């Protein structure tokens, strides 16, 4: 039973610090999103494209989270002056970021100048969803190579997301993936999340995603930690729960599915 007490204490301490982070961000009027996915789903690539497209409009800050290396920070740096790398192996090698890491990292930013702080969490589809880091919204990336069943198998991560970005859609014609099943599973687990289907490689779907990011910048009204989901929904307008993959994507899938059945 001692173990349960320790775990509760870890979460309570984290939540308390996360509330402090949120207060600080709110005071400066900075939106903050926590980007979560399994390793390699395309977080840094999507961020590179997003920053390159919007850096003249929005003053971004980026916190990169990884167990070790500064590879992602170095990829983001050409597009953003304010990037800070957190390596969790300095804190025991955690598979997720914690609120105290963000609290300390905020000291490196001129918050008054920022419009949107983007935090790329450690690549992991389980632990980051359990740790509030003071964000105003969670964005989950899920690549088409991961399998249609993943929303069902990782319901917590998919369930807490305010927006879900299905990535690498350019690969669909080469895969035996059922995009309708993906859409149905996403809707089943999280009917309120805003859905995007994008290819960072070809640019398909990026415009809609960029429009969403524009709306997140600087205008988020923070309330308390667990109600931030509602807050994001408000700034993003009407919920697109259950959005369907684009027509061209469906066409590609049909083509490939009929090929593979032969």
Return residues touching ligand GTP (CB under 6 A): 37, 39-45, 72, 123, 167-168, 170-171, 199-201
Residue 167 touches which of Mg ion, ligand GTP, none (Cβ within 5-8 Å per kind): ligand GTP
Q: How many CB atoms lie within 10 A of CB 174?
A: 11
Q: How far is the CB of 7 from Mg ion (least distance, A)?
A: 28
Q: How far is the CB of 133 from ligand GTP (least distance, A)?
A: 16
Q: Kindly tell me which of 64 and 132 has the beta carbon lying closer to ligand GTP.
A: 64
Residue with tokens 């980026």: 62
Asked if 101 and 91 touch (Cβ cutoff 8 Å), the reply is: yes
Q: How far is the CB of 260 from Mg ion (least distance, A)?
A: 31
Pick the closest to residue 144 from 193, 183, 190 (CA basis).
183
Residues numbered 66-85 forming contacts with Mg ion, rule: CB under 5 A:
72
Q: How far is the CB of 242 from ligand GTP (least distance, A)?
A: 23
Q: Kindly tell me which of 168 and 194 has the beta carbon lying closer to ligand GTP.
A: 168
Q: Kindly tell me which of 31 and 123 has the beta carbon lying closer to ligand GTP.
A: 123
Rg (CA), the chain: 18
Q: How many residues would you count in the chain?
A: 262
Pick the closest to residue 139 from 105, 167, 106, 109 (CA basis).
167
Distance CA 29, CA 38 (A): 30
Q: Kindly tell me which of 45 and 252 has the beta carbon lying closer to Mg ion.
A: 45
Pick the closest to residue 198 from 74, 21, 50 (CA basis).
50
Tell me the number of residues near Mg ion by CB under 5 A: 3
Q: Quick check: helix, strand or coil at residue 226? A: helix
List the x/- string, 4-43, binding to Mg ion by CB under 5 A: ---------------------------------------x
Residue 170 touches which of ligand GTP, Mg ion, none (Cβ within 5-8 Å per kind): ligand GTP
What are residue 220's phi and psi, to 5 degrees?
A: -75, 125
Q: Where are the alpha helices (DSSP H) in the chain?
A: 2-28, 43-54, 71-76, 99-105, 150-153, 155-160, 179-189, 206-216, 228-235, 247-261
Q: How far is the CB of 109 from ligand GTP (least distance, A)?
A: 21
Q: Kindly tell me which of 79 and 233 has the beta carbon lying closer to ligand GTP.
A: 79
Q: How far is the CB of 75 from ligand GTP (least distance, A)?
A: 8
Q: Using CB under 5 A as the criterion, which residues of the chain lie in contact with Mg ion when the complex forms?
A: 43-44, 72
């Amino acid at each position: 039973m001692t173990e349960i007490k320790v775990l509760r204490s870890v979460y309570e301490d984290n939540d308390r610090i996360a509330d402090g982070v949120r207060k600080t961000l709110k005071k400066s009027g900075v939106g903050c999103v926590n980007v979560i996915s399994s390793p390699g789903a395309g977080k840094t690539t999507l961020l590179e494209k997003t920053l390159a497209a919007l850096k003249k409009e929005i003053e971004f800050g980026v916190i990169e989270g990884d167990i070790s290396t500064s590879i992602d920070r170095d990829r983001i740096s050409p597009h953003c002056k304010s990037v800070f790398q957190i390596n969790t192996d300095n804190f025991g090698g955690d598979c997720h970021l914690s609120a105290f890491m963000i609290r300390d990292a905020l000291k490196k930013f001129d918050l008054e100048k920022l419009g949107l702080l983007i935090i790329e969490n450690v690549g992991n589809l389980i632990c980051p969803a359990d740790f509030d880091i003071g964000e105003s919204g969670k964005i989950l990336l899920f690549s088409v190579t991961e399998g249609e069943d993943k929303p069902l198998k990782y319901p917590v991560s998919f369930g807490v997301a305010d927006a879900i970005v299905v990535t690498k859609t350019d690969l669909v014609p080469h895969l035996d993936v059922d995009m309708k099943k993906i859409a149905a599973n996403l809707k089943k687990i999280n009917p309120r999340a805003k859905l995007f289907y994008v290819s960072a490689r070809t640019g398909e779907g990026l415009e809609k995603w960029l429009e969403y990011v524009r709306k997140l910048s600087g205008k988020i009204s923070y309330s308390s930690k667990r109600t931030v989901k509602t807050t994001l929904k408000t700034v993003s307008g009407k919920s697109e729960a259950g959005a369907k993959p684009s027509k061209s994507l469906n066409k590609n899938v049909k083509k490939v599915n009929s090929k593979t059945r032969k």
